[in-house]
Amino acid sequence: MRIFSSGAQTALDSGRCDSRALVKLMPSGTDPLCLWDDRGNISYGGDIYVGRPGRFTCSPVSSTGDYSARNFDITLSGLDPEAIGLVESAAWHQRPILFQRAIISVDAPQILNISPEFAGFMDTAEWGEVVDGLTSLIIHCESSSREYSRTGSRTASNADQRQRDPNDGFLSFSQSAVSTTIQWGTSPQAPPKQKQGGFLGFLRDLL
């Protein structure tokens, strides 16, 4: 469930709003590349998003209930040879990417709400066909949710913890704690027998 500001909710209810895409690519060794699909520049989260309407498109973001990895593609178009050289010289593989959706008011140019839709890593890229000296770049991304289903050999045990730090005995009692029997809600001792008198007590003594 998404939580919107009161202004964004009012604009959504009245239909007097539109959405914009914000993309932040974070290659290694250089400043982030921040783009949004409208005119002009905007500042958000300490970054300057440069307006590039029609110069990039993003695939729909879908979610799954089994925590499987979601794929996400972003296509950058109209790249000249200088931009191509910058991409090829940057260390972008497995570097973070963030895609956010902004709600803006159509009555006054104002951002009412920004919410993240995809966070992951740039995995592979492919160049498109060169037309009039310009080309496109398709970046295929992997979601951070890939970590949910990833398994490893690490265990919550004393032996595994000692491999990380021989002096760390935090889990030294984990095995005995697993096999310890704890009486809960009842007394472990049998209740004392009640003495009965009369005929019932006589029969009990005989048995």
Could you tell me the strand order of the sheet in which 41-44 lies?
A: 41-44, 47-51, 33-36, 17-25, 96-105, 110-127, 135-143, 71-79, 56-58
The reported pLDDT for the residue numbered 201 is 52
Q: Give the count of alpha carbons within 13 A of 82, CB side only.
A: 0
The residue segments making up the domain with residue 80 are 6-149
Using the structure block, give the residue that is written with the tokens 């949710």. 145
In a domain, 48, yes or no: yes
In a domain, 159, yes or no: no
Asked if 76 and 97 touch (Cβ cutoff 8 Å), the reply is no
The reported pLDDT for the residue numbered 103 is 86
Asked if 142 and 124 touch (Cβ cutoff 8 Å), the reply is no
Task: Determine the longest span between alpha carbons in the chain, in angstroms.
Answer: 114
| Total domain count, the chain | 1
The reported pLDDT for the residue numbered 12 is 74
Weakly modelled stretches of the chain, pLDDT under 50 = 202
In a domain, 180, yes or no: no
In a domain, 31, yes or no: yes
Pairing of strands 96-105, 41-44: unpaired
Nearest to 145 by CA among 57, 74, 60, 72: 72
How far apart, in whole angstroms, are the C-alpha atoms of residue 95 and residue 45?
Answer: 19
In a domain, 77, yes or no: yes
The reported pLDDT for the residue numbered 191 is 62
The reported pLDDT for the residue numbered 96 is 93
What the block records as the tokens of 12 is: 């959504």
Nearest to 94 by CA among 149, 56, 50, 147: 147
In a domain, 41, yes or no: yes
- Across 95-116, b (16+ Cβ under 10 Å) vs e yields bbbbbbbbbbbeeeeebbbbee
How far apart, in whole angstroms, are the C-alpha atoms of residue 62 and residue 157?
Answer: 37
Q: What is the pLDDT of residues 156-202, one digit of tens each?
A: 777 777 877 888 887 777 666 566 677 776 666 666 665 555 555 54
In a domain, 37, yes or no: yes
In a domain, 96, yes or no: yes
Residue 123, Cβ neighbours under 10 Å: how many? 17
